[in-house]
Structure 1
Amino acid sequence: MRIGYYVHHHGRGHATRAGVIGRAAAARDHAVTFLGSGPLPETADDPRLEAVVLPRDDQRQDAPFRDAQAGGALHWAPLGGGYAQRACRIAQWVHSQAPDVVVVDVSVEVAALVRLLGVPVVVVTQPGQRDDAPHRLAYDMAAALLAPWPPGVGLDAHLEPWRDALFEVGGLTRFDGACATSHRVPSQEAVGVFLVGGEGWDDPTLPDVVRAATPEVRWRTPSTAPGATPIETLLAQADVVVTHAGQNAIADVAAFGAPAVVVAQRRPFDEQATMGRCLAATGIARVVPVESGADEVARATGRALAEVARRGRGPVGAGWRAWRTEEAAQRAVDVVEGACRAP
């Protein structure tokens, strides 16, 4: 089976998730092509994976971006500029490669284009207030909606009209099966980890305030620099993780069962605020609301550390097990395969 996978250019989260699903699909001997104009998953080590770099359509020097939302029907379809070149490149790939299915993560416009070209589309859906006309259009066209969270946690209310097409597969993480919490090396000092997305913290003082309030903790921030400690090692050792509420970060923390303070950040469609409310309501993690400041994060971190000292770190707790990271990528590939076979 030949699978196309469109990857949104904003941040690295979409590319990370695409890599998780794409590699699981390649392991079943499917050919997977990633398409996007931003970060894309690595493909050099697997001949079943390839990448197509698309031209950008959002460069200010190219166009004035007139009527970019097409009267409210779409999210991004500006008149003029590089949009036609980008759409044509996608259409050329579809015409030459004849994919069996295309996963779109995320773009209403790409989903519509691919579906118009006669290819079934799997739309990756996200938390938040997404009941606007463009989102509804994408959901209506989708052969399947792939939700990277577990069922029963309250993130699916906006998807009720498409219940029959919705598949909540669990949290998608790079570290499925790699949990090392049962092999944690005891330390003489508490270890804390900051997980922040590419946009940084809404309050840039947050790490310094938390460090000042918890002098007994050795705080670490994952880095991709040569020789840096891998993020999976840090998560396996952490007594507490202070993390944003992005989907990949939550899934990574869940995979290692790390005690966490989740700090929702301001993002479009209230994505992280919605995720934070879900985690708080289900009791899965300690959550600091989006409107809170760094001092409240520091207090919540202190309470989390006190709880760890009282109960011990232990193995993956029942709360994080509910996020269903184990085998989530396999369930996602099942959805993609099913969409290809759908009538």
Structure 2
Amino acid sequence: MEEQNEKSSEQRHDSNTSNSPENNSGTETSNIPSTDFENRIDLKPLQESVEQIKKEIAKIIVGQNEMIELLIISILTNGHSLIEGVPGVAKTVTAKLLAKTLDVDFSRIQFTPDLMPSDILGTSIFNVKTNDFEYKKGPIFSNIVLIDEINRAPAKTQAALFEVMAERQITMDGQRYEMAPPFLVFATQNPIEQEGTYRLPEAQLDRFLFKINVDYPSLEDEVQILIDNHQRLDFMDFNAITSILSAVDIKKYQDLIKQIIVEDNLINYIASIVHNTRNNANLYLGASPRASIAILNAAKANAAIHGRDFVTPDDIKRCTKAVLKHRLMLTPEREMEAFTVDKVIDQILETIEIPR
């Protein structure tokens, strides 16, 4: 084991990584190339599967590479993702396409102001034949659940998701019903400033691994979107998408991610980042230990899909914003000054010394 650790340390020292500019999703973009050294574990099948998924989605979606990769990372870490953007930027379509590349059950729930918790979880119905109540499961019982416009439902409906997102089970009439793995929630929402939306409770936001901000496409991407729509009558043909991963494959890769090495100084780096959110004068609410675990797991998955069996500081920096931005709350004074959570995270990352 000591020889393995020494070897991994040498590999980390010799590997080449690069800090990349921030892109429109609010995360640190990483262009870390696949490395030529020999890993302890075989990551090639995982990398090939990720590339195949990207190619399938690219049959319909133009651009949005960062959103797609973060959603793939969320699957590999068994985490839920919240996707925010204005209408029309392919939030829902991308989530549906990603689910299509997985050979698992999929359901979609459209959130509306009049939606009730029973519309999500299910309800007990009296059976005249058996003279007893029977539980009719709701659409939440699936492997991949797409919740569209999650912030259009009131707090009472949002609360119905607390238990199932955190514990992957539902308690109904004293009975516990466990969700079949994998169980992942992809939720889309419009910016809260828009009419008819509700702010999600902090307890619910903390259950999302990532908050992925989706911006408008670039000029080049928008031109390509128009060309595709003009030339292809079957532009939105979901039947053209091939399933790449089964539930067994997903579990295998999730277990593989757990084997990625993280040195002690990088664990301290993650803890320092999160700890600095709790005593920051700009913040009313800092991040919980759940955020620390989320950064750790996301960084391990990011390392794996780039062909490394160890985490680097770039992996951590890349995932930090997507993990933290929905968990932090500015003080009222800072909100009035138009300060942003992104700026706070940038300041924290600039302040803390990067491990070498």
**TM-score band w.r.t. shorter chain:** under 0.3
Normalised TM-score (structure 1): 0.24
TM-score (norm 2): 0.24
